[in-house]
Structure 1
Amino acid sequence: MKRFDWRDRIHELDAEADCEQIVRILATHEFPWDIEQALGLALYRTYAVPSVGELLAYTREFTERTQHRYDDTALILNDIMEHGFGPGRGRDALRRMNQMHRSYDISNDDYLYVLSTFVVMPVRWLNDYGYGWRRLSDHEIAASTNYYRKLGKHMGIKDIPETYAAFYELYDNYERDHFAYTDGGRAVSDSTLELMVDFYPAWQRPLVRPFTKALLDDRLIRAFDYPEPSRFWRAAANGAMKGRAKVVRFMPPRKEPRWARTSPNIQTYPDGYDPSRIGTFPQGCPVPHDMRTQMVPATGAQVPAPGEALPPEGSERSADGGAPQH
C-alpha cells in the first residue's frame, strides 16, 4: 500500500453520499492522532463560552470526574463514527448523547457553536496551522462538513450551516461575541489540562504543561485568563508539531483503523462498555428546559429537538418529550 492510496480512495467517493466513510478513513487511517487532538481542542474551546463553561462546572462532572467524562465523550463519538447513524451501536450512542444533553437547558446557538468547532478545528489544525502531514482537500473538507451536518440533524439542531465557509463564519463570530472569563470555565479548563498532562510520564509533565498551553491561541488564553505563553514556548510547540508532520509524511500508511476505543488514554472501562449505559444519568434537571419534538415537513419523520433523545423505532414520543406512547 502506498502513502497516498487512502487519499486517492477518498477522492473516488462522493462527498455527500459517502461522507461517513470518508470521515472514518480520515479519522482512523490518514490522521488518527491529529484529528483526535483537533477534536479535543474543539471541545476545549467550548469552555470559554460562559453558558457552556458554567454549566459544565455546575455539574462538577468535568472537574471531579474528568477522566470519566473524557472517556465517555470519546467513546460515544467513536461509536457514532464507527457504526453510523442507523439502528445498532451507533444509534445507541447517539441516543445516549441526546439523553444527556436533554437534561439541561442548552440553547440552539450553543449547539450550533459546538458543532461548528467539530467542523472547523480539524481543518485549522491540519491546514491552517500546518500540523498535518498533508493538507485536507476541498473534497475532504466538504465530506467532513456533510458528516457533521448529518450529526447535527440527528441531534435536532436547527439552522445548520450548509458549507464549511458558513460554519467558519459562525464559529469565528460566536467566539468574538461570546468568549469571556468565568470561574466555571477556568475550573473546567484547568481540570482538562491536568488530565491531558497526566497522560504523559511524570518526568515529562513539567514540559508538557507549558508546551500544551503554547498551542492555545490568544483568544483562548485571554478567555481563561492564563499568562501569555513565552515566545520560546510558542516557537517550540509550533516547531515540534510541524516537525512531527514532516516525519509522519514519510511513514507508511495505516492499514488497520485506529479507533478511539483502543486508545491507552481511555481508562474507565477496562472490561468493555455498552454505549447505552455510559455517561451521566442526572436525577432531575438543574435548570429549566422545554424540549419539543419537531416534524420534518418533507418526510413527516420525527427528529429530536436539540439535545432530545431519538424516539425508538416503531414508537412515537409524546409532545412533552416523555416516554413513547404505544
Structure 2
Amino acid sequence: MTGGTAGPAGTAGAHHAYARLVLETMPEESRVGLTLGFVRTFGIPDIARVLYGTGRMTTEPRSRAKATGVAMFALIGQGLDSSDGRRIVDGLRRIHDRPDITPELMQYVLACFTVCPLRFIDDHGYRAVTGEERDAAYAFHLGLSDVLGLPDPSNGGHLAGVESWMRGYESRRFAPSTAGRALWEATSKGLLAARLPAPLAALAPAVAASLLDQPLRTALEVRRPPTPVRALVTCALRARARSRRRAS
C-alpha cells in the first residue's frame, strides 16, 4: 500500500472520505475486512490469551464481533469528538486498562482494524482504495491512537508506515497458541457459518481459511484449503466485484 502524508487527524475532508468509503461505497467489503483484521490478532499469542480469557469469543463470537464492528463504524461515522465517539473511546480505555494489554498490543490491534479493511477492498472490491481515502484512513488511525494515548508507529507519517510496522511486528510475534487456535475454531465455525447459505455452512472453516495469508494460517495452525475451495472463493469474489463494477 502506498499513500501520501495525511493532514492533521480529524480534519473534515479526511474524515469524510474515509467514512464515505467504509459506510457508503463499500460497506460489505469493509465489514469483511474488519472481521479479518480481528481474526488476524489471534495470531499474536498475548492478544489471543486476553481474548480467550474473557470467554466471549468462544461462546458468543457473533455478538463479540458485532460489538467490535458497531464501535469502530460509529467512531468512523460520527467522529472521535462526537458524544458517542467520546463514550466509545472512554469504554475502550476502561476495557484495555489492564497490565497484560500493553500499548504495543493496542497499536497492533488498531493497525489491523485500519489496514485489513483496505487490503480486502484493494484485493476484492470493485475498485482499489484511492490515495485520498488512504490518507483519510491514516488520519483516522492517527486520531484514534492519539486519544488512546498511543504513539504513531509509522515513522513516516502515512499509512504505508503503519503497514510496514505491522508486518515487522507479525514477523517477530506471530506464533501458534492454544488460545489462538480455539478462537479461530469458534470464529470460523460460529461467526462465518451463520452468514453463509445452509448448504455452504459446513464449508465455512475452509472458506474462511481461503481468506487468510500463509503467515496467519501458520500461526493459527490452519491447513491451506483444497484447490477447489480456493477456486470457488476466488471466483465468487471476482464475480461479485464485476457485478458491483457494472452497477457503479
Aligned residues: 237
1:139 alignment partner, one of 126, 132, 139: 132
For 1:103 and 1:212, locate their aligned partners in 2 and report how far apart those are by CA, in whole Å: 31
Residues 83, 111 of structure 1: CA spacing in aligned structure 2 closer, same or farther, 3 A cutoff? same
* Counterpart check, 1:65 vs 2:60: yes
* Shift of residue 175, structure 1, vs aligned partner: 1.0
Q: Partner of 2:214 in structure 1?
A: 218
* Counterpart check, 1:186 vs 2:187: no
Letter in 1 for 2:19: R
Contact 1:48 1:220 in 2 (8 A): yes
Contact 1:15 1:139 in 2 (8 A): no
TM-score (norm 1): 0.68
For 1:139 and 1:89, locate their aligned partners in 2 and report how far apart those are by CA, in whole Å: 26
Unaligned runs of 5+ residues in structure 2 are: 1-6
Question: Please, which moves more after superposition, 44-53 or 230-239?
Answer: 230-239
* Counterpart check, 1:200 vs 2:221: no
Contact 2:76 2:140 in 1 (8 A): no
For 1:159 and 1:144, locate their aligned partners in 2 and report how far apart those are by CA, in whole Å: 13
Q: Partner of 2:142 in structure 1?
A: 149
Contact 2:210 2:233 in 1 (8 A): yes
* Shift of residue 65, structure 1, vs aligned partner: 2.5
For 1:204 and 1:65, locate their aligned partners in 2 and report how far apart those are by CA, in whole Å: 21
For 1:149 and 1:189, locate their aligned partners in 2 and report how far apart those are by CA, in whole Å: 29
Q: Partner of 1:171 in structure 2?
A: 166
Q: Partner of 1:293 in structure 2?
A: none
* Counterpart check, 1:98 vs 2:87: no
Alignment of 1:6-155 (within 5 A): 17=11, 18-127=13-122, 129=123, 131-155=124-148
Contact 2:188 2:204 in 1 (8 A): no
* Shift of residue 68, structure 1, vs aligned partner: 2.5
* Shift of residue 97, structure 1, vs aligned partner: 1.9
Residues 104, 65 of structure 1: CA spacing in aligned structure 2 closer, same or farther, 3 A cutoff? farther
TM-score (norm 2): 0.89
SS in 1 for 2:43: coil
* Shift of residue 104, structure 1, vs aligned partner: 4.9
Letter in 2 for 1:216: L
* Shift of residue 235, structure 1, vs aligned partner: 2.2
* Shift of residue 203, structure 1, vs aligned partner: 2.5
* Shift of residue 45, structure 1, vs aligned partner: 0.1
Runs of 4+ in 1 over 3 A off after TM superposition: none
* Shift of residue 48, structure 1, vs aligned partner: 0.6
SS in 1 for 2:62: helix
For 2:228 and 2:193, locate their aligned partners in 1 and report how far apart those are by CA, in whole Å: 19
Which is richer in helix? 2
For 2:216 and 2:241, locate their aligned partners in 1 and report how far apart those are by CA, in whole Å: 24
Alignment of 1:232-311 (within 5 A): 232-252=228-248
Deviations 1:241-286 (A, max 9, x none): 122111111224xxxxxxxxxxxxxxxxxxxxxxxxxxxxxxxxxx
* Shift of residue 108, structure 1, vs aligned partner: 1.6
SS in 1 for 2:203: helix
Letter in 1 for 2:145: G
Contact 1:50 1:182 in 2 (8 A): yes
* Shift of residue 231, structure 1, vs aligned partner: 2.1
For 2:163 and 2:65, locate their aligned partners in 1 and report how far apart those are by CA, in whole Å: 25
Contact 1:52 1:110 in 2 (8 A): yes
Letter in 2 for 1:251: A
Contact 1:119 1:167 in 2 (8 A): no
Residues 15, 31 of structure 1: CA spacing in aligned structure 2 closer, same or farther, 3 A cutoff? farther
SS in 2 for 1:35: helix
SS in 2 for 1:102: coil
For 1:71 and 1:119, locate their aligned partners in 2 and report how far apart those are by CA, in whole Å: 17
User: Which structure has the bigger radius of gyration?
Assistant: 1
For 2:130 and 2:66, locate their aligned partners in 1 and report how far apart those are by CA, in whole Å: 30
For 2:8 and 2:117, locate their aligned partners in 1 and report how far apart those are by CA, in whole Å: 17
Contact 1:15 1:140 in 2 (8 A): no
Unaligned runs of 5+ residues in structure 1 are: 1-13, 253-326
